Amino acid sequence: MTAETGSPAVGARSLRRQMRSWRRQRADTTLYEQVSDAYVWVFSGVVIGAMAISAMIQTRVSIASGCTTATCTDARTSLVWASVAGVLAVALAAAQSVGPVMVTPATGAWLLTTPVDRRPLLRSRLLAACITAALVCGATVSVVGLLAGFPGGSIAVLGVSAAVAGAGVTAAAASWQTHDGRTTRLVALVLATATAAWMLLIALDAEPATTSEWALGAVGWIVVSATVVVTVGLLVRASVRLDVLVRAQLVPGGSLLSSLSGALAGLDLTLVYDILVARRWRTAATVHPVRGGPGGAWALVWRDVVRLRRSTGAVASLVVALLVPYVVVRLGLDDVTVLASATTAFLAGVWSFSALRTTASNPGLVRCFPMSLAAVRSATLAVPGAFLLVWSLAAAPAIGRSLDLGVGAAVWVSVATGAAALGAVARWLLAGPPNYSQPLISSPAGGVPIALIGSTLRGFDVLALGVVPLLVSPTETGSLVSMGLTASVLSYLLNRK
Amino acid sequence: MSPKVPKSPPLLRVRGLERHFGDLHLLNGLDLEVRSGEALALIGPNGAGKSTALRCIAGADKATAGTVELDGAVLDERSPATRRDLAVVMDDLDFFPDLSVVEHLNLLARAHRVADADAVVDAVLEDVGLVGQAAQLPGTLSSGQRRRLALASAFVRPRRLLILDEPEQRLDAEGLAWLADRLNAEKADGLGILLVSHDPQLVDAVADWVLDLGGE
């Protein structure tokens, strides 16, 4: 059958109406039953949300009590401005990764191949992306403002401005989607660099003095109004350009989101890691090959040197993360510097260990190497592990200052902190997928393997094991105990089949 | 399989191999031998246990019962010596997402301390027809090219026994002809080959012995 030449495109509204009608015909539960089933989730959400807000308010009070000097107050205020730029950079990067306008592979195959009018169909996707970005940006900046001790009015103005700006940059990214997101990447990079530069100024105690009082007056209203006007303009522009987008620019983001949501539904965070790493390198397509190098297990070590040289993003994130312990000290949070350093090293460093993860999830690949499993894993751990330890040494001045330690003790505690992060990375990356052949426990979401919930804490357990001795005794002895515990865990993980 | 009177210890000897999944007895006392310079093909319908047999022999799966010996010693896939002698290409072989085709082969050759690794890698690249894809990352290769890379990973390193699970998969007609020639050359060099195949032409061209697991 062929469409009549010149016939008008099918309306998205009529298609949606048709699909809604089909779905309703097949519905086997009423709305009341659905809400009844979901009450546990609603109740849990309310309770956890209340606990989170209470914890944040307590933390705000705690931070305020430890931040009594003018320099500390300046640093806290400045951090909020850095967070605005940072969260907008993240929003742009996320938008570029998924589109931001995208459709599922099914929609791409079944709807976009028909003479349907695409613009109304894609407009709902654009709005969904903008609303999501607005919620995330607004909530993040509000939380940072709350913790920084801003007054309620300033938090509201900042939160609303950040939310609207988040929607605006997402709309801008939608406009730039036709150019394969090059401009989006560039703007995200500029914002990320600005964030890092601002954090560097905070770490060096060289940031310009700023206040938050302006947000309570007319200037606050002007900022919100201007942000709204610009965002509406960007939304209109993006909406007009929606029908320029081709299928190849819409489906990959939907495929990525489908894969990620599948992995997250199973709480398989390492699968999320695999998906993101695979996508990053599939986008790169080719590299400048590097040959040569030593033999035996050292060949794997050398390959990691090459790998790190070409993984500029992973290295840059670890370098920028080095600012965190110094900023934490500036904020007067001396008690949490070790914990913050270890957690930052873990979260920023994990992206450098892709070879360890690849060998962990591919027994066939490991079988190709003429050495034991432990030797292969150790070789893939060596270079990024050494990089992590260098990172921890670079954090030693901040850790030493926060704990009032001499140079020697500061170095010991810092190395133990880096080792704890290394153990956490190994624990996280060497984990297997969820085992659904184990006994399941009943939950409102269906049967859940016993170990599944605990898998979200994987990595952080080893991190805690290494950090607790340092918190109890931030000395050479505490460091030795911490490193002993981490070494035991590492040895077990590297040898476990 | 017709038993052959041994003149020297076989390269691979499997005795009484069993693999049970609950009540399902997929392998029941499988016996086979592969000698240097010979190829044994396992054939049979889907579900006959061919790939399971290969997985048990290569150590990727744990047999319920039976013994597997490589050159007269119990085959332990954890042993570096076994990994040096055994080149396995099965479906569970994946690649580093951030290393190019040539870098994969270079890494394997150097890990096995192959003399003049670069020349060997170039020869294998030429052989498998991946010269044009040398700088490409595995995620961008077609399924046929990935299969060629998997086979290349076996040819770029020292080996005494090749274990191949349906090596003809996703290869075009030209690739199949190349594969048969290559495997015959491997035999001529004194290697033993154990393969599972659904391609009668490849089996005819390469196998000295054929064991039909569905032919009870």
Say if the Cβ atoms of A373 and B78 lie within 8 Å: yes
Residues of chain B contacting residue A256, judged by C-beta atoms under 8 Å apart = none
Q: Which of A29-43, A200-214, A356-370 comes out lowest in average pLDDT? A: A29-43
pLDDT tens string A254-270: 889 888 888 887 778 88
pLDDT at A8 over 60: no
Say if the Cβ atoms of B78 and A307 lie within 8 Å: no
Q: How many CB pairs under 8 A join A and B?
A: 127
* CB-nearest partner of A299 from B102, B107, B139: B107
| Nearest chain B alpha carbon to A362 | B94
Q: What is the mean pLDDT of residues A34-55?
A: 83
Which residues 319-378 on chain A approach chain B with CB closer than 8 angstroms?
354-355, 358, 361-365, 367-373, 375
Write the single-letter amino acid at B166.
Answer: E
pLDDT at A435 over 80: no
Comparing A114 with A478, the larger pLDDT belongs to: A478
* CB-nearest partner of A285 from B92, B103, B136: B136
Say if the Cβ atoms of B153 and A369 lie within 8 Å: no
pLDDT range class, residue B2, cuts 50, 70, 90:
very low
| Nearest chain B alpha carbon to A297 | B111
pLDDT value, residue A332: 83
pLDDT range class, residue A460, cuts 50, 70, 90:
very high
* CB-nearest partner of B107 from A288, A303, A354: A303
Q: Which sequence spans correspond to the domains of chain B?
A: 12-212
Say if the Cβ atoms of A286 and B97 lie within 8 Å: no
pLDDT range class, residue A444, cuts 50, 70, 90:
low
Torsional sign, CA A276, A281, A284, A290: positive
* CB-nearest partner of B97 from A277, A294, A367: A277
* CB-nearest partner of B102 from A278, A289, A295: A289
Residues of chain B contacting residue A293, judged by C-beta atoms under 8 Å apart = 106, 110
Output the 3-class SS for chain B: CCCCCCCCCCCEEEEEEEEEECCEEEEEEEEEEECCCCEEEEECCCCCCHHHHHHHHHCCCCCCEEEEEECCEECCCCCHHHHHHEEEECCCCCCCCCCCHHHHHHHHHHHCCCCCHHHHHHHHHHHHCCHHHCCECHHHCCHHHHHHHHHHHHHCCCCCEEEEECCCCCCCHHHHHHHHHHHHHHHHCCCEEEEECCCHHHHHHHCCEEEECCCC
Residues of chain A contacting residue B77, judged by C-beta atoms under 8 Å apart = 367
Measured distance CA(A360)–CA(B132) in Å, rounded: 30
* CB-nearest partner of B153 from A285, A294, A368: A368
DSSP, residue by residue, A292-337: ---STHHHHHHHHHHHHHH-HHHHHHHHHHTHHHHHHHHTT-GGGH
pLDDT value, residue A486: 95
Write the single-letter amino acid at A452.
Answer: L
Using the Cβ of A106 and the Cβ atoms of chain B, whether some distance falls under 8 Å is answered with: no
Name the minimum distance, in Å, from the CA of A88 to any CA of chain B. Answer: 29
Q: Which sequence spans correspond to the domains of chain A?
A: 37-66, 71-265, 300-495
Query: What integer best gives the mean pLDDT of chain A?
Result: 87
Measured distance CA(A212)–CA(A154) in Å, rounded: 6
Mutation pick from B94, B99, B116, B141 vs chain A, by most beta carbons of A within 10 Å, is: B99
pLDDT value, residue B4: 47
pLDDT tens string B165-175: 998 888 888 88
Q: What is the mean pLDDT of residues A32-40?
A: 76
Which of A61, A73, A60, A230 has its CA nearest to residue A146? A60
Mutation pick from A352, A358, A368, A496 vs chain B, by most beta carbons of B within 10 Å, is: A368
pLDDT value, residue A64: 78
pLDDT at B5 over 60: no
DSSP helix, strand, coil percent of chain A (3-state; round to 5): 75, 0, 20
Coil, strand or helix at A120: helix
Radius of gyration of chain A (CA): 25
Which residues 370-399 on chain A approach chain B with CB closer than 8 angstroms?
370-373, 375
pLDDT range class, residue B62, cuts 50, 70, 90:
confident
Say if the Cβ atoms of A299 and B92 lie within 8 Å: no
pLDDT at A245 over 70: yes
Q: B interface toward A at CB cutoff 8 Å?
A: 58-60, 77-80, 83-84, 86-88, 90-100, 102-103, 106-108, 110-113, 118, 121, 134-137, 139-140, 153, 157
Residues of chain A contacting residue B94, judged by C-beta atoms under 8 Å apart = 358, 361-362, 364-365
pLDDT value, residue A2: 47
Coil, strand or helix at A430: coil
**Which residues contact residue B199 at a Cβ distance below 8 angstroms, ignoring those fewer than 6 apart?**
B168, B176
What percentage of residues in chain A have a pLDDT greater than 70?
97
What percentage of residues in chain B have a pLDDT greater than 70?
95
Q: What is the mean pLDDT of residues A128-143?
A: 94
CA angle A235, A141, A144 (to 5 degrees): 175
pLDDT value, residue A34: 76
Burial class (CB in 10 A: 0-12, 13-18, 19+), B179: buried
* CB-nearest partner of A286 from B121, B137, B157: B137
| Nearest chain A alpha carbon to B84 | A370
**Which residues contact residue A124 at a Cβ distance below 8 angstroms, ignoring those fewer than 6 apart?**
none
Say if the Cβ atoms of A364 and B94 lie within 8 Å: yes
pLDDT tens string B180-212: 999 999 999 999 999 999 999 999 999 999 998
Look up the pTM and report it: 0.85
Using the Cβ of A303 and the Cβ atoms of chain B, whether some distance falls under 8 Å is answered with: yes
Residues of chain A contacting residue B80, judged by C-beta atoms under 8 Å apart = 370-372, 375
pLDDT tens string B142-183: 988 998 999 999 999 999 999 999 988 888 888 888 899 999
Cis peptide bond N-terminal to A100, omega within 30 = yes
* Pairing mode of beta strands B192-196, B39-43: parallel
* Whether ipTM exceeds 0.90: no
Coil, strand or helix at A30: coil
Residues of chain B contacting residue A367, judged by C-beta atoms under 8 Å apart = 58-60, 77, 83, 86, 88, 93
Say if the Cβ atoms of B94 and A362 lie within 8 Å: yes
Say if the Cβ atoms of B97 and A354 lie within 8 Å: yes
Dig out the tokens for A340 from the structure: 């913050």
Residues of chain A contacting residue B95, judged by C-beta atoms under 8 Å apart = 358, 362, 365
pLDDT value, residue A147: 87
pLDDT range class, residue A1, cuts 50, 70, 90:
very low
pLDDT tens string B64-101: 999 999 888 888 888 888 888 999 998 888 899 999 99
Coil, strand or helix at A112: coil
Q: How many CA atoms lie within 13 A of A194 on its CB side?
A: 17
pLDDT range class, residue A445, cuts 50, 70, 90:
low
* CB-nearest partner of B136 from A286, A299, A355: A286
Output the 3-class SS for A219-246: HHHHHHHHHHHHHHHHHHHHHHCHHHCC
Neighbours of A331 (CB within 10 A): 23
Write the CA distances from A397 to A302, A400, A407, integer angstroms. Answer: 31, 5, 8
CATH architecture of B12-212: 3-Layer(aba) Sandwich (3.40)
pLDDT at B8 over 70: no
Dig out the tokens for A389 from the structure: 């330890």
pLDDT range class, residue B24, cuts 50, 70, 90:
confident
Name the minimum distance, in Å, from the CA of B48 to any CA of chain A. Answer: 22
Name the minimum distance, in Å, from the CA of B57 to any CA of chain A. Answer: 13
Dig out the tokens for A147 from the structure: 């913790």
Q: What is the mean pLDDT of residues B119-143?
A: 91
Neighbours of A394 (CB within 10 A): 15
Residues of chain A contacting residue B61, judged by C-beta atoms under 8 Å apart = none
Write the CA distances from A360 to A267, A389, A455, B84, B109, integer angstroms. Answer: 18, 22, 16, 20, 21
